[in-house]
Amino acid sequence: MLAGCTALVLAVTGSARSAPRSAPDRQVLPANDGWAASGTGTTGGAAADPAHVYTVGTWDQFKAALTDGGTAPRIIRVEGTIDADGPSCASFTAPGYDFATYLKTYDPAVWGRGRNLDGEPDDSPEGLRRASQAEQEKYVKAFVPANTTIVGIGKDAGFKGASLQIEHADNVIVRNLSFESPLDCFPQWDPTDTADGNWNSQYDSVDLYGGTHVWMDHDTFTDGDHPDSSLPYYYGRIYEQHDGEMDIVKGSDYVTASWNVFENHDKTILVGNSDSDSTAATDRGHLKVTFHHNLFSNLVERAPRVRFGQVDSYDNHFVAGDGYGYSYGIGKESRLVAEHNAFTLPDGAQDGTILKKWNDSPLTADDNDVNGVPTDLIAVHNAQAPGEILRSGAGWTPALRTKADPPQAVPGIVDHRAGAGHLC
């Protein structure tokens, strides 16, 4: 098996790199491979000494490996699927919390729709829900320190229900791991979120919160056994127990996401999470992210939704399914470049919905194919949504790319090589 894997690595990358490659757990981001290659580049834990190489198979072992050894470079090798969702939702429930009472108390017919639940006291149903959620949060969140590589070993490594936090940490690599979305046991009802209200949840599978020089490579993100279609409805609204698959917020910078699969999810990736003045102060000039050779499959929206950032998205394959909303969300002060991508839309889906205008920010969208046909994404959007005209010209040209493939080749290249299980 090792010989076959070595041959595959050489076949795939031999033309782009002349140096021999090390084992996946010691590999670093190649030069010029996206925004994470800028400045110091991204090496993760490649320099770890033997005392800081950990092989883990449980959530407790994983968390211990994250906190051992300060900021010395570390490599954490993940074997098999780590169950990070705890024994049960009941195990996190605060004494006195009762969901039936919660539903009765905040029923819109009783509570109304004009105010949210934020000021509710600690001994109220909402206060007890908050306390329960805090217990779950302590369990499912794991904080990744600087100079770390987390790598799955073999073809079936990953996490079920984990929420990795790359919070104000620099130089992190996450590769060859499957993430099944965390399920929030205690979604919050917000009567003021849209006219109908919404259930909102915490926990992204991976959260970049002020994280810098991060390489997400050959990972798979999915709702797995609990898609939104399996979730109940309360107050006529879906009881949404998921948040994002990978959110990049709060001044995060220099991120490369390559060869990942993002699938079977609603709100997939935020780059920037608010238009507010305080968020602008943190995010403006940052949120520089490259997405290349990713498969975005059967998603509703946000692949990604961008605010402020200079995002380069090239050579990705987008496959829309039922309930498709949009792929790229064009938000405040964003400067998206989307080139050489392939879109596969089902019958009846309009190519003008690939772009969604949230804000008047110009973008570059050249050399993209829709169902194999070269398509000017901005022109078709503007023709189909004349009330939401988008402007062309992001005002910058990505310099940090390795090799760009033509869009007609992208599905064949990406579909069978992206995601976890394709490194050895």
Kindly list the catalytic residues: 302
In the bound state with Ca ion, the residue whose beta carbon lies nearer, of 204 and 263, is 204
Report the C-alpha gap between 76 and 150 in whole angstroms: 5
In this chain, which of 219, 245, 247, 301 binds Ca ion, going by CB under 5 A? 247
CB–CB of 161/140 below 8 Å?
yes
**Nearer to Ca ion among residue 24 and residue 304 (C-beta):** 304
Q: Note whether 83 binds Ca ion by CB under 5 A.
A: yes
The only residue of 170, 180, 204, 339 in contact with Ca ion, by rule CB under 5 A: 204
CB of 348 to Ca ion, least distance (A): 30
Residue 315 within binding range of Ca ion, rule CB under 5 A? no
We find the least distance from the C-beta atom of residue 79 to Ca ion, in angstroms, to be 17
Distance in Å, CB of 370 to Ca ion, minimum: 29
Amino acid at 141: K
Looking only at the bridges linking them, the beta strands covering 53-56 and 148-160 are unpaired
If one asks whether residue 301 binds Ca ion (CB under 5 A), the answer comes out as no
Structure tokens at 331: 């938000």
**What DSSP state is assigned to residue 363?**
B
As measured in angstroms, the least distance from the Cβ of 243 to Ca ion is: 4
137 binds Ca ion (CB under 5 A): no
Total residues interacting with Ca ion, rule: CB under 5 A:
6
CA distances (Å), 11 to each of 8, 18, 219, in order?
5, 12, 20
- CA nearest 162: which of 226, 200, 207, 132? 207
Q: Which residues contact 252 (CB under 8 A, 6 or more apart)?
A: 166, 208, 209, 210, 211, 212, 214, 286, 287, 289
Nearer of residues 189 and 343 to Ca ion, judged by Cβ: 189
Of the candidate spans 68-76, 146-154, 200-208, 282-290, the one that interacts with Ca ion by CB under 5 A turns out to be 200-208
Stretch that binds Ca ion, among 6-14, 80-88, 253-261, 289-297 (CB under 5 A): 80-88
63: its two tokens: 């968390």
Tell me the C-alpha distance between 99 and 359, whole Å: 38
As measured in angstroms, the least distance from the Cβ of 56 to Ca ion is 16
Tokens of residue 239, six digits? 């009881």
Residues within window 205-244 making contact with Ca ion, judged by CB under 5 A: 243-244
Catalog residues that contact Ca ion under the rule CB under 5 A: 83, 85, 204, 243-244, 247
